[in-house]
Amino acid sequence: MGFEKIIFYLFSALLIMSASMVITVRNPVKAALFLVLSFFACAVVWLLMEAEFLAIVLVLVYVGAVMVLFLFVVMMLDINIERLRAGFISYLPVGIVVALMMAGMLIWIVSGDGSAFNNSVTHNADYSNTRELGRVLYTDFLYSFEIAAVILLVAIIAAISLTLRRRPNTKHQKIENQIAVKRNERVRMVKMKAEEKK
């Protein structure tokens, strides 16, 4: 068994273990941390599939940014675990349906004629995944790429404008006034006679 296979089975097992821990562990902070671990294991599996760029971006975006903000919120919440568990049974049928659909899709793809897998080409070490991806994104799929970027920008602006409230009475500081301040506005020089000796 090759070294690559050892790594593959190790991290696949880690991925499945951590993904199932996400939904079974009681503590929401620990669940979020297991999700981080599953992203990481997934990135390693992608690396073995020679998708270096996607693997690194998965770590960079999901592990490095999204999950940090996620943890940030989860830590601040005072979540009542008992109440969460009470809703488990009522959500179960919907969950089972979704899970069956996902499993069905996976089985349908895997049990096909295998054309999706067999035509994968392995490249040498000097093949730059990033360059190829960039070339395709900025030439063949330019419009869809740009449209996706605009949609994301709209989403950002919408999220900010939804949460932005004008509160006129806050005592926030005006930085430009602070920087423009002169000595004379803050310090008053007082001339005094020296104390006389008695």
Partner 1 sequence: MIEWITSVLSFLPSELVTVITILIKIVVIVLPLMIAVAYLTYAERKIIGAMQVRIGPNRVGFFGFRMFGLGQPIADALKLMLKEIVIPNNASKFLFLLAPLLLIGPALAAWAVIPFDAQLVLADINAGLLYVLAVTSIGVYGVIIAGWSSNSKYALLGAMRSAAQIVSYEIAMGFALVGVLMAAGSLNFGEIVRGQEGYGFASWYMWPLLPLFVVYFISGVAETNRAPFDVAEGESEIVAGFHVEYSGMPFAVFFLAEYANMILISGLASVMFLGGWLSPIAGLAPDSVFEIPLLGLLLGNGIHWFFAKMAVFLFFFLWLRATFPRYRYDQIMRLGWKVFIPITIFWLLVLGIAILAGLPPWFAAT
Footprint on this chain of partner 1 (rule: CB under 8 A)? 2-3, 29-30, 33, 36, 52-53, 56-57, 59-60, 63-65, 68-69, 71-72, 75-76, 128-131, 172-173, 175
**Using CA atoms, how far apart are residues 33 and 197, in angstroms rounded to an integer?**
73
Question: Minimum Å distance from CB 112 to partner 1?
Answer: 32
User: Locate tokens 């996976």: which residue?
Assistant: 106
Helix (H) or strand (E) holding 62: none
**Token pair listed for 92:** 């179960």
Q: With helix as H, strand as E and coil as C, how does 80-118 read?
A: CHHHHHHCHHHHHHHHHHHHHHHHHHHHHHHCCCCHHHH
Question: Minimum Å distance from CB 5 to partner 1?
Answer: 10
Question: Minimum Å distance from CB 36 to partner 1?
Answer: 7
**Token pair listed for 140:** 């063949």
Which one, 79 or 100, has the nearer CB to partner 1?
A: 79
Which one, 117 or 127, has the nearer CB to partner 1?
A: 127
Beta carbons of 53 and 133 less than 8 angstroms apart: yes
Which one, 72 or 141, has the nearer CB to partner 1?
A: 72
Question: Minimum Å distance from CB 132 to partner 1?
Answer: 10
Which one, 175 or 190, has the nearer CB to partner 1?
A: 175
Which one, 17 or 68, has the nearer CB to partner 1?
A: 68
**Token pair listed for 168:** 């006129």
Question: Minimum Å distance from CB 93 to partner 1?
Answer: 34
Polymer length of the chain: 198
Nearest to 15 by CA among 51, 39, 49, 50: 39
